[in-house]
Structure 1
Amino acid sequence: MTPPALADERRMTRTGPPRGAGPAAAPSARRRRFRLLGTITLFLLPALVLFALLVLAPIAVAVYTSAFKWNGLGGLPRNFVGLDNFTRMFGDEVFVGDLRRGALLIALSLVIQLPLALAIAMLLNQRMRGRAVYRLLFFAPYVLSEVITGVLFTMIFSPDAGLANQILGLAGIDGPQWLADPSLVMMTLFLVMTWKYFGFHMILYLAGRQGIPKELGEAAAIDGAGPWKRFRYVTLPLLGPTIRVSVFLSVIGAIQLFDLVWVLTAGGPIHSSETMAVTMFQFGFKRSQIGYASAVSVVMFVISLVFALGYQRFVLRRDTEGAITTMRAQR
């Protein structure tokens, strides 16, 4: 009896190699790869064109015009000034103040706004009557536009007929100038920001919390861990990816904050609530100094880009690597 391996070898000798195994197979495989590449390019091309026109082109124009002294009229800019706009910017007390105020908003968001959103998310994850209603009420401010929010709180913090001062008046307290006091306007602005945005972060944390298996908390409770220890050693570490994304969005939002500030204070009084985006708008559209405004936009973009790349490299690296590994395992 002929062994199977020997029979296969004799059959291969008589019939020759399998079809497609010869030199003609390589061109066929190359044609399939080119066809696949063409299909991918065809589907990606509209998105790439839009990205180039709406993102890359404006960035290039801003970088180009930042090297000129230009009012936006009279055709292309011709008065080349090099880095003078940037030198002027970092010597301007208003812009340096913008950096300080942006850092203050970021610090307050990380220390107050996000912990508050996390605490409320943990509370609303418990069984309670009307839980869905509370979730809706806390998330509803985020749905409102920034313009509506700004107009609403302009009326609430009005020094004469505003609701805030009327409530304080009932307690015999003279209400302050919420939006006109340079020493108070940033805290008032942060209060409005917290009311507007903490519901978004709350929903993020709530979704992350509901993705944690209940068995882990039950196992920790069986081992004798109390509510605080279960939160500290079980819930909080597993919420790490969600918290890191929340921090990233909060910081980027504080760097680019514009519309809420513009509606509430327009950067006043005496620049005490101005941000980089407001300064850019003031010089670009109010004073027609397009070159200087472009320089401000370039600095704001570079700050956001450096933070985003550094944050992804050193903070989100484990999360992205874990997601890629999971996707590969599912293939």
Structure 2
Amino acid sequence: METSGKGAGPVGDTSSAGPRTASPDVMAMRRQDQRRKWGEIAFFTGPGLILFALFVLFPVASAARYSLYKWNGIKKFSEAEFIGFENYARALWGGNDPATREAFKTAYTEPFWEALSHNLLIIVASMAVQLPLALLIALVLNRKFPGRSFVRVVIFAPYVISEVIAGVMWFIIFDPNGIATKFMESIGLNAPSGGWFESQTWGIWTVFFIVTWKYLGLAIILFLAGLSGVPQELQEAASIDGASWWQVQRRINIPLIGPTIRIWVFLSLIGSIQLFDMVWVLNRGGTQGQYATIATFMMQFGYFRKDVGFGSAVAVIMFLISLIVAVAYMLTILRRDNDNSELAR
């Protein structure tokens, strides 16, 4: 046919075969949209990033710098003696100098590892006691009964109380002549000799009891929030099929709030590593460090013993432990929840 060789019409039109270039106006609009998008990002995230750099990155960098020096925090930092990683060595194994290693082990290393063991004990006890207790209370409070809202408020109230107020209150209760001691005597039991907090056996467990009272409400509220998102139809269907109350909880509710439980575990891990306020109010971790944590140990040496370099080294170690635990937990545990949320989309 003659029309096939003329190049006329859609078949022979080659003008549309090549790439189309946007007009200058379209390109200008695209650049303007890009600038506006980055401007919005800078506007909303800029203040947060500035605060993060000012109150997180800068203190961490400063602590890492101070940890390399022998400095009491009083004289000028320019006069401080550079000792490299000696502060870290003193905390971990007693230092690099054989002449002072044994003395430093007693003064620095043993108290450091003892404080770290208290953090680990609180972590293990939290997973073994707080987690099942909070989950059980949340499952019970998830049922409808008169006064449920009031009970929830009462349980959550300790969490919103200041650590200082709560610590002073419990310090008075567990005083050698306090209510707890008199109660033990009234039921025929002997209270710890020398006081609850001064006991090598009961000191750390008394602190754990107070920490559990203080922070258990947060776990319960988080679990209740997760339970509120469980479809009621699933529970009703299981009940119609003959499932008991406990079977409904074990087969439906608990698995479906798994992400909430794992988030609480993450918060509990980091909080236990950095535990300071409550322990510090309760006699600064004990007169002999019976329940001292890494944070209170750092405060004792860095502030009261005027060894800012060593205290900064302990702070950096605590930061690294928290960072490693957080990254490992997110990559191994929370990553599965993130992957599932992406697949749900």
Give the TM-score normalised by the residue count of structure 2: 0.85
What residue is the counterpart of 2:63 in the other structure?
Answer: 62
Q: Would you say 1:242 and 2:243 are equivalent positions?
A: no
Q: In the alignment, which residue of structure 1 is the partner of 2:97? A: none
Deviation at 1:282, TM superposition (A): 0.5
Aligned residue number for residue 248 of structure 2: 230
Equivalence for 1:292: 310
Q: Secondary structure of the equivalent of 1:288?
A: coil
Aligned position for 2:102 = none
Determine the structure 2 residue equivalent to 1:144: 161
Which residue is equivalent to 1:157?
174
Q: Among 153, 159, 182, which residue is 1:166 paired with?
A: 182
- Kept in 2: contact 1:85–1:292 (CA 8 A): yes
* Code of the aligned partner of 1:225: A
Q: Which runs of 4+ in 1 moved over 3 A?
A: 19-28, 321-326
Tell me which moved more, 136-145 or 172-181: 172-181
Identity across the alignment (%): 44
Amino acid at match of 1:158: D
Superposition map of 1:72-111 within 5 A = 72-77=73-78, 78-91=80-93, 92-111=109-128
Q: How does 1:304-315 map to 2 (within 5 A)?
A: 304-315=322-333
Which residue of structure 1 aligns with residue 140 of structure 2?
Answer: 123
SS of the counterpart of 2:196? coil
Aligned equivalent of 1:270: 288
TM-score normalised by the chain length of structure 1: 0.89
Q: Match of 2:70, SS?
A: coil
Q: Which amino acid aligns with 2:198?
A: A
**Which whole-Å CA distance do the structure 2 matches of 1:151 and 1:100 have between them?**
25
Cα shift at 1:141: 0.8
Paired with 2:260 and 2:37, the residues of 1 have a C-alpha distance of 36
Give the drift of 1:22: 3.4
Question: Match of 1:83, as an amino acid?
Answer: F
What residue ranges of structure 2 are gaps of 5+ in the alignment? 1-8, 94-108
In 2: Cα distance, 1:24 partner to 1:237 partner:
55
Residue by residue, what CA displacement relative to the aligned partner does 1:17-37 show, whole Å, maximum 9, x if unpaired?
xx9843653344234313432
TM-superposed deviation, 1:116: 0.7
Q: Secondary structure at the match of 1:59?
A: helix
Question: Equivalent residue of 1:266, what SS?
Answer: helix
Secondary structure of the structure 2 residue equivalent to 1:315: helix
Aligned-residue offset at 1:320 = 2.4
The structure-2 alpha-carbon separation of the partners of 1:282 and 1:319, relative to structure 1 and needing over 3 Å to count, comes to same
Q: Secondary structure at the match of 2:81?
A: coil
Residue 128 to residue 24, structure 1, CA distance change in 2 (3 Å): closer
Structure 1 position 46, deviation (Å):
2.3
Code of the aligned partner of 1:117? A
Give the count of matched residue pairs. 320
Give the superposition deviation at 1:72. 1.3
1:5 counterpart residue number: none
Residues in 1 aligned to 2:74 and 2:284: alpha-carbon distance in whole angstroms: 25
Residue of structure 1 aligned with 2:191, choices 160, 169, 175: 175
CA distance in 2, matches of 1:22, 1:154: 75
List per-residue Cα deviations over 1:18-72 (Å, max 9, x = no partner).
x984365334423431343234224432222222111111111011111111111
State the alpha-carbon separation in 2 of the partners of residues 211 and 300 from structure 1.
Answer: 36
Distance in 1 (alpha carbons) for counterparts of 2:44 and 2:188: 66
**Which amino acid is 1:58 matched to?**
P
Considering only aligned residues, what root-mean-square deviation do their CA atoms show, in Å?
2.7
Match of residue 104 from structure 2: none
Q: Is the 8 A contact 2:197 2:206 kept in 1?
A: yes
- In structure 1, give the amino acid aligned to 2:231: P
Alignment match, 2:106: none
- 8 Å Cα contact 2:203-2:291 kept in structure 1: yes
- DSSP-derived class of the 2:188 partner: coil
From the superposition, tell whether residues 230 and 39 of structure 1 become closer, same or farther in structure 2 (CA, over 3 Å).
closer
